Amino acid sequence: MKTEDNPYSFLYPEIPPFNEAFLPVSELHTIHFEQCGNPNGKPVLFVHGGPGGGINPMYRRFFNPEKYHMVLVNQRGSGKSTPHAELEENNTANLVSDFEMIRQTLNIDKWMVFGGSWGSTLGLVYAQTHPERVSELVLRGIYLGTDKENKWLFGGQGANRVFPEYWEPFEALIPEDERHNMLEAYHRRLTSNDPSILKQAADCWSGWETSICQLQHDPKMVEDYLASPSGVSMARLECHYMRNACFLQPNQILNNIEKIKHIPGYIIHGRYDMVCAPESAWQLHQAWPESQLHYVTYAGHSLLDPALAEKCVEITDLLAGD
């Protein structure tokens, strides 16, 4: 039973991977991935957010380890994948190709795809590229990779009006004459050869996003994230992807929804998600009425929000099979 002392009691126990590996996918990039749970269980691909967020041991706890064969992948430039925070050869098509290479390497015929935030975007693109390889889609915190969504979060056209006190440091780093294009202004700093300029920009970028991620602001979580390597990789890669329209055609995901309508789909979104506005989940569900949409009332964007996490486990248990 959940208590204030243990709000995550519904998660499965902590487990180590039964295998970790590094797969060279190009002359530049090597991808780290881990396998957990039951090697003979139902295969599931965990697609982390960001881009640049990386995997976390807590993510293993969303799946019954007796029933699931979990494959958790650090995308290019993320986590233990090398080179860290690298922008070259880092685009959506390459990430999709990496997943497919891992699937083939592991000799998996079909797998469930579980992705949140940017992971929902990438999971949808992977499924639309390889629909015959996806058994189910479980998608949290929907992000469709659109300019409107980018401006909501980083363009001063939405979330900043809800959290002006956290927006102020993000905006203040950029001189007024550059604020008409925050992505370009931050990109210049996040690609600087001066490590102090790069780190200052990364702290402002990731600090803004993580400050509004949870339903209840947690300063310690923000501080810990900025101190981790993911604070830099997420800032650099998110900015890189957003200024390149996530390497997608306009409205690409919704325009290609017919390719995945036969795949069972579960959409989970925090009602008070300020990183990815709930409208995106509604738009996806309207285009894909065969999917199930679950708005979680007492939740924001973060998978750490207990109500959102519990709904995700409820869905993975439902799909675990006998």
Instruction: Look up the pTM and report it.
Output: 0.96
Residue 117: predicted pLDDT: 98
Element housing 138 (H / E): strand 134-140
Give the CATH number of domain 19-146+246-319: 3.40.50.1820
Residue 73: predicted pLDDT: 98
Going from N- to C-terminal start, the domains of the chain cover: 19-146+246-319, 148-245
Residues of the chain with pLDDT under 70: 1-4, 322
- Contact present, 29 and 208 (Cβ < 8 Å): no
| Residues belonging to the active site | 117, 273, 301
Residue 14: predicted pLDDT: 96
Residue 3: predicted pLDDT: 53
Residue 193: predicted pLDDT: 97
Arithmetic mean of pLDDT over the chain: 96
Residue 1: predicted pLDDT: 43
Residue 4: predicted pLDDT: 62
Of 49, 310, 47, 260, residue with least CA distance to 135:
260
Q: How far is CA 273 from the centre of its chain?
A: 14
